[in-house]
Amino acid sequence: MRPGQAEQADGGGIIVKSTGLPVIIWVMKNYLDLTGRVALVTGASSGIGAATAAVLADLGASVGAGYFHNEKGAAQVAKGIAKAGGKVLAVRADVSRAEEIPALVEQVEREFGPIDILVNNAGSLIKRQPMRELTEELWDEVLDLNLKSAAFCSRAVIPGMIERRRGTIVNVVSIAGRNGGGPGAGPYSTAKGGMIALTKALAKELAPHGVRVNAVSPGVIDTPFNAAFSTPEMIASYVKGIPLSRVCTSTE
């Protein structure tokens, strides 16, 4: 074999020879094939959660689409996935309440089997409010929905993942968790910052068991979230700092 040539190796690798001995580069075949895997996505009735559920189903995973208020949106997401040939189950649960989470996980696992992928996406700013006007009720509501839900949904699936020595947890955080967010977003940015720390803590704890934990930190996304909590003027100011000069889509 001449230098620079490549040929197939046993087991799916490729043998490449440069100036020295041949080196086998193992190719990750079908890296994005999730056939046979089970995913649970919280907050899957719209925006990033809906897009995530659709993409996971398109890659072959059976998807539990968690939702709470937006039943119509969850039904539309489930209908779209099913129409495309995917497997999906929409399940209603208030993940800000830890006692409702086990039933959510149980329903998904009863339908599809053990959960391999958890996407902690449920969350909301709830409302913009200056810290000088902050109430304990709003603080608890925002922290429970964004941070506590991620912790306790993770807790619910971790034992099974450890037992199988396989699993993935993805926390959808936010740029607000790193820069403090916009006006009146103190509780939200605090919760998202907490999710970043939670991600690091879980990654350290679960790595020895073969379970991966990562976070995705979206910027300004074209979703009902931004439509509800940001004025057109605010969006325009955000876009000025984006190299593409536009907001991102959920699918992106």
Active-site amino acid positions: 188
How far apart CA 155 and CA 184 sit, in angstroms, is 30
Terminal alpha carbon distance of the chain: 42
Q: Find, among 48, 55, 54, 40, the residue nearest to 116 by Cα.
A: 40
| Phi/psi of residue 5, nearest 5 degrees | -80, 155
Give the up-direction half-sphere exposure of residue 183: CA atoms within 13 A in the CB hemisphere: 8
Q: Find, among 34, 27, 43, the residue nearest to 166 by Cα.
A: 34
Contact 44, 34 (CB under 8 A): no
DSSP tag of 248: B
Q: Which two tokens stand for residue 92?
A: 């209603």
How far apart CA 15 and CA 6 sit, in angstroms, is 5
Q: Find, among 246, 206, 218, the residue nearest to 52 by Cα.
A: 218
Contact 195, 215 (CB under 8 A): yes
